Structure 1
């Protein structure tokens, strides 16, 4: 369901009255930091996109577009040349140059205490050659046709503001000096971020003089704020409110097929004493059950994905058996959603040595994804019926994300948006073997490892021919799903709601940003 609101396309030339030049966005999840390299999570990137720019930007369908780089081209199999946009100024008035890109590439993979960073996007970069202040040549370790796509995820920071700056310096605003369409006015962590327009923005002056990213984690409160006129738009529209909002004449809905998979990820770091995993008497198990692929497959086929999509998500999701939705490059049509088979799940558990099952705690965020805690609760009920007695631990996103990065959970519900629109992004970042030096597995909190799959991914990302690369990526998907590296549940349909008078360009990457909003006729 790829569609862009016609109202948005007609709105760009509509003049705004003075009283309507401020925009307030009601967001369902907070950014955990203003450091644009701290955590590769959608809320963080949404906020950062107001302040910072990237060499390559992405449109609403995640297609690469010129950003700080006006153009790019391969000049050999392992060298790309990027021509930078002249005349770009940092918010403090200093010139943007190639040296800032060099500094960014040095810092982005090495942010202390990052729960899931950006190293995976730079893993193939061997060195950066500065030809002149506006020309870069990026050398890669092997042929890498996806380099422009990778770079569309790395926000560029300035050397003069970022040298020696910590994550806290960005959170406080001291180092949060970008080239983006808005300047930072203030940041109240977990509550709101306020921006003011950057009139010198290279991409053109935005219509909103001020914009606010206001966190309203409670679904009902978010909808109520929109209807009351306290906010101009909301994201993560609660599925239970969709029918009501469709009938509401003061509100418009904007939807697009999303790239985010909601999935389950088990702990692979321990051989025993897995957090929250015991026998039925509450005693620790002698071995980690998740290391047995039969257990992982049992948990997968023990989930009724159709019921989750239809009842829990109320039609705002589609069942999935892999990390890409149909219609996207490298989606493998031979890997469908697993059929619900509770009897088969019990047989697999018995074969694995658990005829009576066991007990687990499934941890989930309760304010990050649409219906996240409700989804986990439904999965818990399904697993309990196959003999895996499941309790739910629901946590706020800020706590959940930090603890997940420390491998504190036995099994967890999470989300991943493959916003590159192809399979290698997830294969490198969430199921690739964790290796800081190779910049692989940055968001692999479960620490799953499959060297054979890693080798296939490396082969795919070095394959220049699109059709040949897609065939290898199909192999990657099948191998990972045969081994049940993660348990995909469904893909989201992204929905925003706006008050009458505001149009919004729905984005496949879920990004909530003032730049996608315009006055509607």
Structure 2
């Protein structure tokens, strides 16, 4: 499954309770006639449901069901209309969107072009502090032409714009101007008013969120269930047990160690595909020993990625040599990259060229949960076995881990990006010298130039793809990250549930609108 060229050029119409186990869910009545019950597992911390402020994946998983965007991805990863019924690109720096008429927010007010303009004004406001403000910097104006027409202008041709306007991890979900001004930003993040299929009715932090169906939702027949409960379950296996007992309809992530067990469950359907993610060990190239390219290359070539995949996620991943996953086929490079291949002899030769020896001490900051823990442990073990180095792991909670990573306070962080849908997100954001995810300030003028050119190529498949591939090859030579794997997206759903479409980007909140418990 790949993102096609028409994805961008197709302007045609268009929760930490339950760690203790099964009991809270086994006690539930069979959910057939009641609300749809879904579990969001693993990382479940939610700080805000304001799209403009959201930063963590669990926040977006919920936001996707509360809000809409101008466009969205369908199940085949093509861009189709969401709030926009059509759009055009009259010149390389201008985009016009025609909004659907009759769209209602949860408070009954009409969604118009004023709400769209307000949404992007908030993102652009430095005082508001949106995490994606820099990402949307190429967008220099958003204008309401009439109540149903919006015109956007960029400072130069900006090919990723449509992807960045989609209902994924973009923060471009359209907010209700009237509600934001009445509540204020902080309250809006706790009691959001959107136009999506689900209206929030209760939020119990670290336990669950409850929703009612949006009666005036503009897509006929959706949502198919009258209500929704999203359980926030830190322990993935507890969610699987609850699903098997009939207390849940859907689990968004099946633990890699549980997949064979789930496949044997007569009442449960299992779905799996390579996801839109990158798993890697991020290196602080500003601090010893990773300020030395030869040391970085030695570490990268010391990893047997096929064995790594088997040891960490039971084979449920694709070994990777870059960030761009195979689901984005037009920008994915299949040619081997020498410094991202397992080669013990070459790794030792690179270490010999380094100004640091094998006796240098390296602290790897790991995440303590599930396969993330194994990821750090196996990474350290492989490097030490191959190079004779003294790498060791220190584990910390996800919030501290991410804060220290963003501050570049440490040496190495095994981690990953998920729910990204455009090569610009993987490469420009992470490796351009001005990229907002470029935490260690990697800088290569040639890479910068290629990524800037790729951003301006509206013919993304034929012209943009080769530029991204060329840039990523150079990045792989510099090794600012050790590329490891592209993990599978695994979901489990009761077989009696209908309407589930599995997509590489795991739409969760948006996916639930078409599902019914039967």
TM-score by length of 2: 0.86
1:27/1:213 contact within 8 Å kept: no
Distance in 2 of aligned mates of 1:335 and 1:165: 54
1:36/1:45 contact within 8 Å kept: yes
In structure 2, the CA distance between the partners of 1:393 and 1:194, relative to structure 1 (3 Å rule), is farther
Q: Which residue in 2 is equivalent to 1:274?
A: none
Q: Which residue in 2 is equivalent to 1:168?
A: 186
Deviation, 1:349, is 2.4
Deviation, 1:423, is 2.0
In structure 2, the CA distance between the partners of 1:42 and 1:61, relative to structure 1 (3 Å rule), is farther
Q: Which residue in 1 is equivalent to 2:497?
A: 502
In structure 2, the CA distance between the partners of 1:45 and 1:136, relative to structure 1 (3 Å rule), is same
Unaligned runs of 5+ in 2: 3-29
Q: Tell whether 2:208 aligns with 1:212.
A: no
Alignment of structure 1 residues 68-107 onto 2, 5 Å: 68-107=83-122
- Residue by residue over 1:346-375, the C-alpha shift from the partner in whole angstroms, topping out at 9 and shown as x without a partner, is 3322321222332222123344xx711111
Distance in 1 of aligned mates of 2:59 and 2:443: 27
In structure 2, the CA distance between the partners of 1:187 and 1:233, relative to structure 1 (3 Å rule), is same
Deviation, 1:389, is 1.9
- Residue by residue over 1:264-297, the C-alpha shift from the partner in whole angstroms, topping out at 9 and shown as x without a partner, is 11224x45xxxxxxxxxxxxxxxx2212111211
Deviation, 1:377, is 0.9
Q: Tell whether 2:163 aligns with 1:149.
A: yes
Alignment of structure 1 residues 213-228 onto 2, 5 Å: 213-228=230-245
Q: Tell whether 2:289 aligns with 1:289.
A: yes
Q: Tell whether 2:437 aligns with 1:443.
A: yes
Deviation, 1:505, is 1.5
Deviation, 1:239, is 1.5
Q: Which residue in 2 is equivalent to 1:200?
A: 216
Aligned residues: 479
1:262/1:488 contact within 8 Å kept: yes
Alignment of structure 1 residues 12-161 onto 2, 5 Å: 19-30=33-44, 31-110=46-125, 117-119=131-133, 121-152=135-166, 153=170, 154-161=172-179
Q: Which residue in 2 is equivalent to 1:330?
A: 331
Distance in 1 of aligned mates of 2:143 and 2:127: 26
Q: Tell whether 2:240 aligns with 1:243.
A: no
1:259/1:325 contact within 8 Å kept: yes
Q: Which residue in 2 is equivalent to 1:455?
A: 449
Q: Which residue in 1 is equivalent to 2:6?
A: none
Distance in 2 of aligned mates of 1:335 and 1:240: 29
Q: Which residue in 1 is equivalent to 2:8?
A: none
1:61/1:507 contact within 8 Å kept: yes
Distance in 2 of aligned mates of 1:139 and 1:336: 38
2:497/2:517 contact within 8 Å kept: yes
In structure 2, the CA distance between the partners of 1:211 and 1:418, relative to structure 1 (3 Å rule), is closer
Q: Which residue in 2 is equivalent to 1:515?
A: 511
Q: Which residue in 2 is equivalent to 1:371?
A: 371
Q: Which residue in 2 is equivalent to 1:387?
A: 388
Which SS does the other structure have where 1:240 is aligned? Answer: helix
In structure 2, the CA distance between the partners of 1:402 and 1:64, relative to structure 1 (3 Å rule), is same
2:309/2:485 contact within 8 Å kept: yes
2:311/2:378 contact within 8 Å kept: no
Which SS does the other structure have where 1:19 is aligned? Answer: coil
1:254/1:497 contact within 8 Å kept: yes
In structure 2, the CA distance between the partners of 1:519 and 1:178, relative to structure 1 (3 Å rule), is closer
Distance in 1 of aligned mates of 2:107 and 2:384: 57
Distance in 1 of aligned mates of 2:75 and 2:101: 25
Distance in 2 of aligned mates of 1:403 and 1:461: 30
2:36/2:249 contact within 8 Å kept: no
Distance in 1 of aligned mates of 2:392 and 2:491: 32
Alignment of structure 1 residues 277-426 onto 2, 5 Å: 288-326=288-326, 328-336=329-337, 338-367=340-369, 371-385=371-385, 386-417=387-418, 419-420=420-421, 422-426=422-426
Deviation, 1:113, is 9.3
Which SS does the other structure have where 1:35 is aligned? Answer: coil
Mean Cα deviation higher: 332-341 or 462-471: 332-341
Mean Cα deviation higher: 247-256 or 327-336: 327-336
Q: Which residue in 2 is equivalent to 1:277?
A: none
Deviation, 1:447, is 3.0
1:89/1:200 contact within 8 Å kept: yes
Deviation, 1:518, is 2.2
TM-score by length of 1: 0.85
- Residue by residue over 1:49-91, the C-alpha shift from the partner in whole angstroms, topping out at 9 and shown as x without a partner, is 1111101111233321111111111111211111111111111
What is the root-mean-square deviation of aligned Cα atoms in Å?
2.6
4+ runs of 1 displaced by more than 6 Å? 111-114
